[in-house]
């Protein structure tokens, strides 16, 4: 189907009508270590490799070198596609925290949100990006002022819409509370996917076993179930089990 963008994540696309709604922004939310970065690397890598679609990964926390190494664990050679201009990792992590970078794509230490977004837009046009990842929204915002944040998030929404790419915006859930950090993100996103660690059956008293689950909380124009699906992180990356049960 033309109006869908395949995530490249085994088992997931069939749960959301064939893929993410094209040219939309999706919020990917979860607690620390639930797999948000791996999910998003897989989305960008598979776009370049399997669908010939260029992608941009904007990283605010991890350095590009760390992402390349993490991806390689799963056999995803980002560098190869970076050389072909099919993938760009935009380093917004280094200079902002005061460490040097020798990346080709980076943002300066004193960059404001508007310039950052216009840089992102420029690159998107340049490589004809069909996929964009922002890792992560909380790290993206410099201001703690709720008023500014609301304006910033709308500005981001406008810019992303203008690129016509299909975007994944990563955010965090803190202590199991809600699924968005600020509450505004939801307004610019047409879908919300959350990733969790849930307590499974207890093999022994007080020895909880945790399982990974993924939940499609909202996906406009999509007939999806409201259900937690199990997934694993294996040597091929994330695999979702549509027939599996969590409990």
Residues that bind ligand ATP (CB under 6 A): 30, 32-38, 73, 172, 233
Indicate the residue among 7 and 21 with the shorter CB distance to Mg ion. 7
Indicate the residue among 38 and 159 with the shorter CB distance to ligand ATP. 38
Closest C-alpha to 57, from 158, 199, 167: 167
The nearest distance, CB 170 to ligand ATP, in angstroms, is 7
Cα–Cα distance for residue pair 82/86, rounded to 1 Å: 6
CB-based contact 135:60 (threshold 8 Å): yes
Q: How far is CA 173 from the centre of its chain?
A: 14
Closest C-alpha to 237, from 13, 45, 25: 45
Cα 13 to Cα 10, 190, 198: the distances in Å are 7, 16, 22
Cα–Cα distance for residue pair 55/247, rounded to 1 Å: 36
Binders of Mg ion in range 160-219 (CB under 5 A):
none
Residue 176, contacted partner among Mg ion, ligand ATP, none, CB below 5-8 A by kind: none
The nearest distance, CB 122 to Mg ion, in angstroms, is 25
Indicate the residue among 96 and 159 with the shorter CB distance to ligand ATP. 96
Binders of Mg ion in range 18-37 (CB under 5 A):
37
The nearest distance, CB 164 to Mg ion, in angstroms, is 26
CB-based contact 152:117 (threshold 8 Å): no
CB-based contact 211:202 (threshold 8 Å): no
The nearest distance, CB 219 to ligand ATP, in angstroms, is 20
Indicate the residue among 4 and 172 with the shorter CB distance to ligand ATP. 172
Secondary structure E strands in the chain: 4-5, 20-21, 25-30, 54-59, 87-91, 129-135, 166-172, 191-199, 210-219, 228-234, 237-240
Indicate the residue among 77 and 172 with the shorter CB distance to ligand ATP. 172
Indicate the residue among 36 and 131 with the shorter CB distance to ligand ATP. 36
Residue 207, contacted partner among ligand ATP, Mg ion, none, CB below 5-8 A by kind: none
The nearest distance, CB 221 to ligand ATP, in angstroms, is 27
Residue 157, contacted partner among ligand ATP, Mg ion, none, CB below 5-8 A by kind: none
Residue 59 binding Mg ion, by CB under 5 A:
no
Cα–Cα distance for residue pair 228/236, rounded to 1 Å: 21
Determine the Cα angle at 146 with ends 180 and 21, to 5°: 40
The nearest distance, CB 74 to ligand ATP, in angstroms, is 7
- The footprint of Mg ion (CB under 5 A) covers 37
């Amino acid at each position: 189907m033309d109006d869908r963008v395949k995530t490249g994540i085994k088992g997931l696309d069939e749960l959301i009508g064939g893929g993410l709604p094209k040219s939309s922004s999706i919020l990917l939310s979860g607690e620390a270590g639930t797999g948000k970065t791996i999910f998003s690397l897989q989305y960008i890598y598979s776009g370049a490799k399997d669908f010939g679609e260029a992608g941009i990964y904007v990283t605010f926390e991890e350095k590009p070198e760390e992402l390349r190494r993490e991806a390689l664990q799963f056999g995803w050679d980002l560098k190869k596609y970076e050389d072909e201009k099919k993938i760009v990792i935009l380093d917004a992590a280094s200079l902002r925290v005061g460490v040097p970078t020798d990346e080709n794509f980076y943002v300066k230490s004193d960059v404001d949100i508007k310039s950052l977004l216009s840089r992102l837009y420029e690159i998107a046009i340049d490589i004809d990006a069909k996929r964009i990842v922002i890792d992560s929204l909380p790290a993206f915002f410099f201001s703690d002022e709720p008023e500014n944040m609301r304006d910033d998030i709308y500005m981001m929404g406008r810019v992303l819409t203008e690129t016509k790419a299909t975007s994944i915006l990563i955010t965090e859930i803190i202590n199991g509370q809600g699924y968005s950090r600020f509450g505004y993100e939801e307004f610019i996103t047409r879908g919300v996917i959350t990733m969790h660690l849930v307590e499974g059956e207890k093999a022994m008293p007080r020895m909880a076993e945790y399982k990974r689950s993924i939940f499609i909380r909202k996906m406009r124009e999509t007939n999806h179930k409201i259900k937690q699906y199990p997934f694993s992180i294996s040597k091929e990356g994330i695999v979702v089990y549509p027939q599996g049960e969590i409990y």
